[in-house]
Structures are given as structure tokens and as C-alpha cells.
Amino acid sequence: MSSSLDSHGSARRSDPARPAGAPGEGSAPLSLTAREPQVPAERLVAEMVPPPRFDSVRFSTYVPDPDRPSQSEAVRVLASFAEGIGEAPRSGSAGGGLKRWFRRGGGTARPDAPRGVYLDGGYGVGKTHLLASLWHATEAPPERKAFGTFVELTHLVGALGFQQTVRTLGGHRLLCIDEFELDDPGDTVLVSSLLSRLAEQGVALAATSNTLPGKLGEGRFAAADFLREIQGLSAHFRTLRIDGEDYRHRGLPAAPAPLAEDEVIRVANLTPDASLDDFPALLTHLADVHPSRYGALVDGLGAVCLSGVGPVPDQSTALRLVVLADRLYDRELPVVASGAPFDELFGQEMLEGGYRKKYFRAISRLTSLARDGARLASG
């Protein structure tokens, strides 16, 4: 049981065990701080598919900006890449279709040639849409394709162990890695080794990031000391640059203003399966939940209501909030909040530092969800 605020600002009890979809009239909203999700390793593997927001996306549903030819080119190249993955390899040759794909694309058929594509571009240009479309377009059974974020992949290694992860993913045709970032030297060595082993076994690789492969880790740690590993990662990918502005804000109004706290509480009480949490308390709780479990943390919710939103106090907390924002966006969960607007979450030093692209992505996604929340509140 956990406390949340009632309409008078006093503590009220909420039951974290109450099943989703069964809020009785007058029942308390759910509370994220009351949840301590445990995710077994087999679920981690089974859930390596595109998130619900991207269930129905396809190359045909991606709308390229006519002023940004790199977007149309990315669709063409990725569709051809999917075709190459789907081609059965010749006897005794791993990935024959992919070798022919790279030859057609101006690449090489050397055994050490790149076996993947790396989508580089700013936030909101549709990289995840394209990555999920690649997953859907690849003609292979779902159990032989994997799709996950970078943090989910590293946690899978932690849950299964390195060798078991290689055995589990080594039989796949395709591994898609969304939000590829290197935040510490350990991840650099781990992922470099893992991708090398998977590429040797014929697994096609695809990744999205806001950072070019050769710039991974820049501004975060002493990347120069791990240059060999970073260069090894770059060798696995052919880079596709996707230019454009954030599609979430094309022709849309500015982010809605935060609501009054009593209005947030009203929405939380009226919305089925809504959660209601004090923002500083939620930030504290996130430190006790591994980021790979943030998806499970918000399972079954209909909306997320937050009181007292304010600037994030430090970088570790800010990075955890970025991951939560990604999981909320994946699940299309409206966010209703009081306090400071979302573009004031991260201080100027953070927005100018090595993780600035992550923070801008989080602001973009939370702003989009706040618009959904504003419609929910006005309804």
C-alpha cells in the first residue's frame, strides 16, 4: 500500500495489487511509487518486439518530408536491407542476401564488411518508426527477430549472462537496437564484444541513435581510451543520416501549460487506471527500480498524473527520467502534470552537456504526451 494526495492534499492509501481495468467508483488512483516490478529473464526475451506505439507502423506509413531527401532514401535503403535479410543464405554462407545487399548499395562483400545499418539523426525524425518498420518487413518468424532499447539489451546480458545471451540471440536473423548510446566504459566493451559475436553468427544488426558511431561516448567518459572498441562498433554498421525537424511539433501549438494540482487530482480520480504520484517522490523511486523494468512499472496504466513537477536535481536522476519518458511514449500514455512545464526539467548545464540529445528527446516526448493529457483533462 502507498500514499497519494487526495483533493485536500492529505495522504490517501492506494492498493498496488489492484488489477488494471478494475477501478471501482471512488477508488484511489494507482501509484507508481507503490510498484516494484520484477521481470523474469524469459519475459525480457519474449518482449523484445516493437513497443505498442509501433505495432502497426510500416515503411508505407512513414511520411518523408519532401524537403529532406535523406528520409526517402532511408526508406528505400532499409526496405532493400529487409529484403536481403529475408533471402535464405546460400549453403555454407551466412547472410548471402545481406552480402548482395551491400554490394548493390555500393558496399563490399568482404567477410568483415558491415552487417548492419545505423540510423543517425535528431530526435523526432522517425528513426524508431523506420527501425520498427524494418522489423515488421523482415520475413522471419517473430521469435527469430529481436527489438529492444540499448538499456534493455544490456540488462538482458545481466540477466542471462554473456554466453547465454549470445546463444539466445545468435539464432536470430535480425537484432534491432533503439536509442543506441554508450554511457560508460563497461557498456562499450560489453556491447562491442556482443555485437561482434552476433555478427560472426550471421545476425543482421540495425540501430538508431542521435550520435554517429565514431562519436559514441563523447562527452560522457574518456572515449579516447576505448577508441578500439568504439571503432569496432562502427565497423559493424553502414551509417544512414536522416535529416529533419521533430515531426511531433510540425504545425502543432506550443506545449500546454501545467495544470493546477487540484485539476491533476481530479483527472486522476476520473480516469480509469490512472496513476497519481508526487514528482520528487517518483524520481526517488526510480533510483530503486532498474531502468529495464520501467516498462513493467507502467504496465496497465491509462494515464500518468504527476503533482509538483520541477527541475531534476542531478544527472543520474535525469538519465533515469529519460528512460521513463521513453517507456511512457512507447505506450502512448497521456501525462497530466502540475508544477513546472516539461521544458524546464533539465538545467542549462545538462542541455549543453554530453547527454543533451537525450534530454531534448525526453522533453519532446513528454511534451507530446502532455498534449494528450490536456485533451484528457478538457474532456
> CA-to-CA distance for 179 and 210, rounded, in angstroms?
8
pLDDT at 140: 93
> CA-to-CA distance for 320 and 373, rounded, in angstroms?
22
Q: Give residue for cell 562527452.
A: 219
Question: What is the distance of C-alpha 267 from the center of its chain?
Answer: 27
User: Consecutive sets of 10 residues in the chain, 379 residues long: mean pLDDT of each?
Assistant: 34 36 58 92 87 92 92 94 73 48 43 71 84 96 92 85 94 91 69 88 87 50 48 76 70 75 96 97 96 91 97 94 93 96 92 84 92 90
Return the number of other C-beta atoms located less than 10 Å from residue 363's C-beta. Answer: 22
Cell of 178: 533503439
pLDDT at 185: 63
Task: Dihedral sign for Cα 292, 355, 232, 82, please.
Answer: positive
pLDDT at 124: 73
pTM of the model: 0.73
**CB-side exposure of 41: number of CA atoms within 13 Å?**
10
pLDDT at 110: 41
pLDDT at 76: 95
> CA-to-CA distance for 169 and 284, rounded, in angstroms?
34
Backbone φ and ψ for 335, nearest 5 degrees, come out as -120, 125
Residue 75 CA: distances (Å) to CA of 27, 62, 221: 48, 8, 34
pLDDT at 281: 98
> CA-to-CA distance for 347 and 246, rounded, in angstroms?
21
H-run or E-run covering 304: strand 303-309
Backbone φ and ψ for 11, nearest 5 degrees, come out as -75, 140
